[in-house]
Chains A and B, each alone.
With several copies, the nearest count.
Chain A
């Protein structure tokens, strides 16, 4: 394959412009037509000099996760970067400052940590910055230029992005950063190239549509906008905050409304209120906020009120690890509300999926009259990928309500009419003559309180059964199988952001000759029993990798199907390492590590 597949990691401390460099780089290569996937790691401190790493994988076709090993590692702060030397592959490049300001002990300089087989590229970053811009602040731009020069990327797309990014800060700042970039570019281009990383010839992708680069949260926002979200209520919380922040800019421009509420209880309450009133309504939060929404989510379930909740998971339990990713809120999303309070829970596996799930969530909420939780996580919310938007426009239905027929004279409107598909035509305030009261009490078809055995049984059935149709929701894949078809040694069953790593691991296993497949499960509730059961029929062993301690999804699969799976539940405060999954695949397929090694 002549295709490009380069992973670059930039590492430094919070003050070095590490994340900004990553941001420019990803935008520039995306503008040049490459596909990217990027994930930044931030320090947990409020402020300070904690370690930041920006990792980007640049490919011709969209990839599914970062690679275990980077092709290029850039150090903006050796003390932070040294422990990461090992993540560069053989013949990969390590770029660092060759002239530190003060003489430093040997062990503290990057040059002493480049491993045999890796290619060191020391160059005078600070000096070039000083010369070109009169200060050291643009070191990150110098480094970017160096990468571009070294790897053979055209400077034009960088220059555009730099222009755009710094425009607000005035022409002086733009000029300074351009100069820094140029100095680095010249140095990089002039370097004698020893490593084998390079950008392949670029081919415009065949697929029509607009390619843009989005973080998971930005994709959610785009999905909301394209689905014409009318009201949003939220309370800030990492890693969901940026959804609200972006919407705060985007919604008013479209004449829509956003309110920062006093807490998550009110955010959820107002979302239900707006949903009841007939508007598309959403909120976004993380685990702690989801806990506070549990009671109100139950009200949405029993009143059958459409609403959408974006939940971006972080490390738990409790306040946990606000800046680390985890998939441990699945149980709370599925079961957090007391009573038999089922709802739809969907979890995208990549950024494109964030966009689709966000838009489709509104359709489903309306069509099935239910709260829909879209379960993200920090890894997905914060990572960037290139996404293709269909040229034909947003693939979302803008009114998925069951039509309400006009009442016969004297007819009393039944908000909870028992119908064949369990969905009752819904009137909203303003609909003439359809006055009714919705309530959290069990009720009859009219919505009046009623706690008889018959009514409670009928209404419980209605609330559960109507959701089954979501498994066949138009234009939405609730599960999808990849890899080998037919009988396989190992089947990987995975959900959420971890699926990308699973897919990479599967490709690697296939390359080793292991017959295996991977199924992504996007709809977690209602449970896609048939599809998953059929998949399991094909597998000698079923592996469920997920980033939580209890194996929450594995427990769900076993709970529904009463069939055993192999759990790979880990809490590494980071995405699941691909090699861990690969190791399990090997083990389950009977291939020993030594057999591979030889």
Chain B
């Protein structure tokens, strides 16, 4: 069990960032998030990953839905699409279909992904679209000022559940595993180094990679997914965990009380781009 970690403020990291050259990937716009929001660590992790991997800035597209989290594309200096609520994945699929050479990263919140956008995830995973999906899980609707999300804990009081949320949350990792996602991992905004490492790995994976990022909403959730609680609850996946073993991954994912961080599952199989080429070949055509 790790020790609670303090919120990460961008300015604290500024020197370090400048020295590393990661500033290249930051846009002119400063994030408009609340001070202390977990998302700062994610944008930081992302630019770090881009830097480490040397991703050409004009060959990458960040695609988001709508939410605090989905403001993300404005804060990195890559191509970006701020789509509609819940639609990052199908737009990303279209982009990747049009141009396989692009690095495509979809980002969004828990409401964006598991409420309104819930129908698209299984299909992106099934097709093994070669994109990375970073899901920012603060267990609440931040942008609309604090309603329950499908990942809110039982008992959470929100503006739409003033008498406490009576429903148990969905289990996103089990869902993604059942969808056949070819890379499934979990990170926590309060563990920035691990987070960066996971983002890098997720982008590096060839196929559909899903990284679930626990991240406190310091403004609208003071009781559930806080830095203190998450710091106390999260754990590492056991050393012995085999990312090739789907049932072991499912087993680990079952534990929502003590979310384990790390790579749950990885598999290599043809991507959507590969299957397009396969179909073209079978038809007797050749790629243009």
The reply, when asked whether chain A contacts chain B directly with Cβ atoms under 8 A, is: yes
The listed residue (A236, A254, A259, A270) touching B288 by CB distance below 8 A is A254
Is A256's beta carbon under 8 Å from chain B? yes
What are the residues of chain B within 8 A of A205 when measuring CB–CB? none
A512 to B66 alpha-carbon distance, docked (Å) = 49
B286 to chain A: which residues have CB within 8 Å?
A: 255
Does A100 touch B at the CB level, under 8 Å? no
Minimum CB distance partner of A440 in chain B? B84
Q: Does A281 contact B (CB under 8 A)?
A: yes
Nearest residue, chain B, Cβ from A291: B84
| Bound Cα distance from A262 to B284, whole angstroms | 27
Most buried by A among B87, B92, B276: B87
Tell which of A48, A288, A441 touches B82, judged by Cβ atoms closer than 8 Å.
Answer: A441
Which B residues touch A281, using CB under 8 A?
94, 98
Interchain CB contact (< 8 A) of B91 among A48, A272, A430, A434 = A272
Q: Which residue of A lies closest to B62 (CB)?
A: A437
Chain B 105-133 near chain A by CB (<8 Å), digits 1 or 0? 00000000001101110110001000000
Asked if A262 contacts B81 (CB within 8 A), the reply is no
Determine whether the beta carbon of A263 is less than 8 Å from that of B115: yes
Residues on B with C-beta less than 8 A from A248 are 159-162
B229 within 8 A of A: no
Report Cα–Cα, A256/B98, bound state, in Å.
9
Bound complex: CA A429 to CA B97 (Å): 13
- Determine, out of A237-245, A378-386, A535-543, A576-584, the stretch whose residues face the partner at the interface: A237-245
Q: Tell me if B280 and A295 are in contact (CB < 8 A).
A: no
The answer to whether B98 touches A279 (Cβ under 8 A) is yes
Q: Which listed segment binds A: B10-18, B70-78, B235-243?
A: B70-78
How distant is A495 from chain B, measured CB to nearest CB, in Å? Answer: 27
How far apart are A580's CB and chain B's nearest CB, in angstroms? 32
Q: Are B102 and A277 in contact (CB under 8 A)?
A: yes
Assess the A245–B159 pair: CB atoms within 8 A.
yes
B4 at the interface (CB under 8 A from A): no
- Which B residues touch A303, using CB under 8 A? 81
Residue B54 at the A interface, CB < 8 A? no
Interface code A213-252, partner B: CB below 8 Å = 1, 0 otherwise?
Answer: 0000000000000000011010111100100110011001
Q: Which of the residues A238, A264, A318, A429 comes within 8 Å of B79, measured between beta carbons?
A: A429
Q: For this complex, into which size category does the number of interface residues on chain B fall?
A: 35 or more
A567 interface hit (Cβ, 8 Å): no
| A278 CB–B CB distance under 8 Å | yes
Q: Which of A233, A258, A429 has the most CB of B within 10 A?
A: A429
Which of B136-144, B184-192, B203-211, B257-265 faces chain A?
Answer: B136-144
Question: What are the interface flags for B10-50 relative to A under an 8 Å C-beta threshold, 1 for contact and 0 otherwise?
Answer: 00000000000000000001001111000000000000000
Closest to B34 in A: A47
Q: Does B63 contact A (CB under 8 A)?
A: yes
The residue that B33 contacts in the complex, of A47, A238, A272, A273, with Cβ under 8 A, is A47
Q: How far is it, in angstroms, between the C-alpha of A574 and the C-alpha of B141 when the chains are bound?
A: 26
Contact yes or no, A262 B61, CB < 8 A = no
Interface string of A500-544 (1 = CB under 8 A from B): 000000000000000000000000000000000000000000000
| Separation of A162 and B47 alpha carbons in the complex (Å) | 47
A434 to B61 alpha-carbon distance, docked (Å): 12
Closest B residue to A48 by CB, please name it: B32
A-side interface mostly: mixed
- Partner of B73 from the list A230, A244, A261, A437 (CB cut-off 8 Å) is A437
Residues of A415-455 at the interface with B, using a CB-CB cut-off of 8 Å, are 429-441, 448-449
Cβ–Cβ contact A45 & B32, under 8 A: yes
Q: With a CB–CB cut-off of 8 A, which chain B residues contact A318?
A: 84
Q: Decide: B82 and A432 in contact? CB cutoff 8 A.
A: no
Instruction: Specify which of B60, B82, B279, B287 is in contact with A440 (CB 8 Å cutoff).
Output: B82
Q: How far is the CB of A47 from chain B (nearest CB, A)?
A: 4
- Provide the A353-365 mask, 1 if CB < 8 A to any CB of B, else 0: 0000000000000
Chain B residues near A47: list those with CB within 8 A.
32-35, 219
For the complex formed, measure the closest distance between the CB of A321 and the CB atoms of chain B, giving whole angstroms. 13
Question: Is A557 in contact with chain B by the CB < 8 A criterion?
Answer: no
Contact of A261 among B68, B123, B283 (CB under 8 A): B123
Q: Are B160 and A270 in contact (CB under 8 A)?
A: no
In the complex, whether A64 has a CB less than 8 A from a CB of chain B is no
Tell me which residues across on chain B come within 8 A of A231, comparing CB atoms.
94, 97-98
- Taking a contact as CB atoms under 8 Å apart, the answer to whether B93 and A46 are in contact is no
The interface residues of chain B lying within 8 Å CB-to-CB of A259 are 93, 97, 127, 272
Quick one: given A265-B90, A273-B95, are A436 and B79 in contact (CB under 8 Å)? yes
Bound state CA distance, A279 and B141, in angstroms?
29
Please measure, in the bound complex, the distance between the C-alpha atom of A272 and the C-alpha atom of B61, giving whole angstroms.
Answer: 14
Residues of A with C-beta under 8 A to B102:
277, 429-430
Bound: A448/B145 CA distance, A = 22
B residues in contact with A448, CB < 8 Å: 29, 74
* B81 x A438 contact (CB < 8 A): yes
What is the CB-to-nearest-CB distance from B73 to chain A, in angstroms, rounded to a whole number? 5
CB distance from A519 to the nearest CB of B (A): 36
Whether A319 sits at the interface, judged by CB under 8 Å, is yes
Contacting pair A270 B74 (CB below 8 A)? no
Q: Is A273 within 8 A of B90, CB to CB?
A: yes
Chain A residues 14 to 50 lying within 8 A of chain B, measured CB to CB, are 45-48
| A271 sits at the interface (CB 8 A) | yes
B-side contacts of A265, CB under 8 Å: 87, 90
Taken residue by residue from 74 to 112, chain A's Cβ proximity to chain B (1 for < 8 Å, 0 otherwise) reads as 000000000000000000000000000000000000000
* CB < 8 Å neighbour of B145 from A241, A273, A288: A241
User: From A318, which residue of chain B is reached at the shortest CB distance?
Assistant: B84
Contact A266 B120 (CB under 8 A): yes
Known A233-B94, A241-B145, A252-B163: A437·B79 in contact at CB below 8 Å? yes
Q: Is B86 in the interface zone, CB < 8 Å from A?
A: yes
Docked pose: A47 CA to B30 CA in angstroms: 12
Q: Is A253 at the interface (CB under 8 A from chain B)?
A: yes
Question: Measured between C-beta atoms, what is the minimum distance from A232 to chain B in Å?
Answer: 9
B34:A46 contact, CB within 8 angstroms: yes
A299 contacts chain B at the CB level, 8 A cutoff: yes
Provide the residues of chain A in CB contact with B123, threshold 8 Å: 261-262, 266
CB of A489 within 8 Å of the partner chain: no
Of listed B29, B89, B93, residue having the most chain A CB within 10 A? B93
Determine whether the beta carbon of B161 is less than 8 Å from that of A273: no
Residues of A within 8 A of B90 (CB): 261-262, 265-267, 269-270, 273
* Interface pair A437/B144, CB less than 8 Å apart: no
Contact of B97 among A274, A295, A299 (CB under 8 A): A274
The answer, yes or no, to whether B194 is at the interface (CB within 8 Å) is no
Residues B33 and A277 in contact, CB atoms below 8 Å apart? no
In the complex, which of the residues B33, B98, B144, B279 contacts A278, with contact meaning CB atoms closer than 8 Å? Answer: B98
Given contacts A248-B160, A253-B284, 18 further A-B contacts (CB under 8 A): A245-B160, A252-B282, A254-B285, A260-B148, A262-B119, A263-B116, A266-B93, A273-B92, A273-B98, A277-B61, A277-B102, A303-B81, A429-B99, A430-B58, A432-B58, A437-B82, A438-B80, A448-B74
Shortest 7 CB-CB contacts between residues of A and residues of B? A273-B94, A270-B94, A437-B80, A269-B90, A266-B90, A279-B98, A252-B283
Please name 19 pairs of A and B residues whose Cβ atoms are closer than 8 Å in the assembled complex, sorted by A.
A47-B33, A230-B98, A236-B141, A236-B147, A241-B159, A249-B283, A253-B283, A256-B285, A259-B272, A262-B116, A269-B84, A270-B91, A273-B90, A275-B98, A276-B91, A288-B85, A319-B85, A429-B79, A434-B58
Question: Which B residues are within 8 Å of any A CB, using their own CB?
Answer: 29, 32-35, 57-63, 66, 68, 71, 73-74, 77-87, 89-99, 101-102, 115-116, 118-120, 122-123, 127, 141-145, 147-148, 150, 159-163, 219, 272, 276, 279-280, 282-288
Tell me the A residues contacting B by CB distance below 8 Å.
45-48, 230-231, 233, 235-238, 241, 244-245, 248-249, 252-267, 269-279, 281, 288, 295-296, 299, 303, 318-319, 429-441, 448-449
